Amino acid sequence: MAHFLWERFQRGLMVCLTVLLLVQAGGPAAADDCKRVSNVMVLFDASGFMKEKDHWDQMLKQMSFFQKAMPLTADGFFNVGLRHYGLKVGLGCENTESILAIQPWDPERFLNSFPKTVSYGTSSLSAGLRGAADDLAGASGKSVIVVVGGGIESCKADPGKITEQICRNNPDLEVHTFQVGGSQDGAFYLKGIAQNGRGTYNNANSFGSSADWYRWMRQFMVMPCAGQAAAGAPVAGLSPVTFDNNSFSVRSREPMADAANQATLAAVAQILRQSPMARLVLHGYSDGKGKPETNLKLSKQRAEAVAQFLVGTHGIPAARIAVMGHGATLVMPPGGAPAHERLGRRVEFEIQQ
C-alpha cells in the first residue's frame, strides 16, 4: 500500500513539468476547431403510446439528463431544435409540429419548450423524421437528429426507408435513436432508422444519468481539440484524486495519499492558469459498496468537493469547472487489495482546451 501511494506521490511531484510541456506543445484551440456536429434536432415521441406505463415520466427523465449533459459536452457551440412526432387525431399522417427552431443552445429555453403534458394520439415517426430533416435543411455543417421515444409508427409508412431517403439527400446528416419502453415493433423501427441514418440505436433504460448522455455525446457529437484527451479519458500524467472509505473529503487520513492528492490538485490548477480558455470536467467514482443510488450520490459529492477545493484553495473560477458523478466503477470482491479499492474511490480530470 505504501509503495503504491509513494509512486503516486512521485508522479504528482513530477506532473507540473509534464503539464507545462504539454500545454506549450499543444496550445489552446478555439471551440470551432473541436466541433464535429453543429446542429442537433431532438425528435421526441408525443403520441398516445407515451401515456402508457409511465413512458412519459421516462421521457421527461431522459430530457432532463440531456439538458444537463449538453452544456458540459459542448460549451454552447451546438445549435439545438425540438420537434415531436405525435399527431392529434384527425389531422392526418403528414402533420407534425416544430416546437423549437434550430438556434444556439439555451438550456432554459429547451426545457420551457418541452411540453409538460401530452395529448396526442397518432404516432407518425416518418412524418416527424421528414419534418426534422426539413428543419435542418438550411443549416450549415454536420447535423444530427436524436430520436427519443417508443418508435411506434401508426401511419403505414416505413421510417427506415424514409431515413434512407433523407440521408441520401443530406450526406452531412446522422440519425441516432433512443428507445423508451420495450415495444418489439419500436425496437425494429428504431434500429432500422439508426442503421440507415449512419447512427446508433440505444435503449434509454441503459441511460440512467446525465453522465451516460455526456459520454455518448462526447463520442458521437464532439471532435476533441488537438492535444486534448479522448472523451472522458483522464489527462495523461495526472493521477486521480483518491478518497478514504465513505468520505468525500479531498484531505486523506493517510499521509502519503494526502500528499499525492495535494500535488495533483496543484498541478491541475497550474494547467488551468497556463491555459486561460481551458475548462475542467471532474469525473467522480465510487468503489461499488452499498446501493447504486448511494454510490451515484457519493461519486458526485467527491467531484463537487474537488471543485470546491480548486476554487477555494487555488482560486480557480467556479465557472470553469463542471462535475459529473458516475457512481460505481470498480466493485471489489471480499478481501480485495486495499490499494485497488482506494483507486475505485476517485475523481479524474478531463481538460477541454
Which of 166, 189, 220 delimits the end of a domain?
220
Strand partners, 43: 83, 147
Task: Look over the chain and give the mean of its residue pLDDT values, rounded to a whole number.
Answer: 81
When divided into structural domains, the chain yields a total of: 2
Task: Tell me the three cell numbers of residue 84.
Answer: 415531436
Distance of CA 339 to CAs 8, 33, 166, 244, 346, Å?
11, 40, 53, 11, 12
Measured over the CA atoms of residue 99, residue 151, residue 232 and residue 346, the dihedral's sign is positive
Per-residue confidence band for 27, with pLDDT thresholds at 50, 70 and 90: very low
> What's the domain range around 291?
2-31+225-352
Judged against a pLDDT cut of 80, whether residue 151 lies above it is answered with yes
Pair (232, 158) in one structural domain: no
Pair (211, 78) in one structural domain: yes
Which candidate, 134, 133, 131, places its Cα nearest to that of 197?
133
Pair (61, 202) in one structural domain: yes
Task: Write the CATH number for 13.
Answer: 3.30.1330.60
Apex CA 114: angle with CA 113 and CA 116, to 5°?
120
Among 22-26, 245-249, 265-269, 278-282, whose mean pLDDT is lowest?
Answer: 22-26
Pair (105, 155) in one structural domain: yes
Judged against a pLDDT cut of 70, whether residue 240 lies above it is answered with yes
Among 11-25, 164-178, 227-241, 258-272, whose mean pLDDT is lowest?
Answer: 11-25
Pair (40, 27) in one structural domain: no
For residues 151-171, give the mean pLDDT.
92
Among 54-58, 188-192, 287-291, 307-311, whose mean pLDDT is lowest?
Answer: 287-291
Q: Strands 86-87 and 122-123, how do they pair?
A: antiparallel
Residue 25: how many CB atoms within 10 A of its CB? 9
Pair (80, 182) in one structural domain: yes
Judged against a pLDDT cut of 90, whether residue 197 lies above it is answered with yes
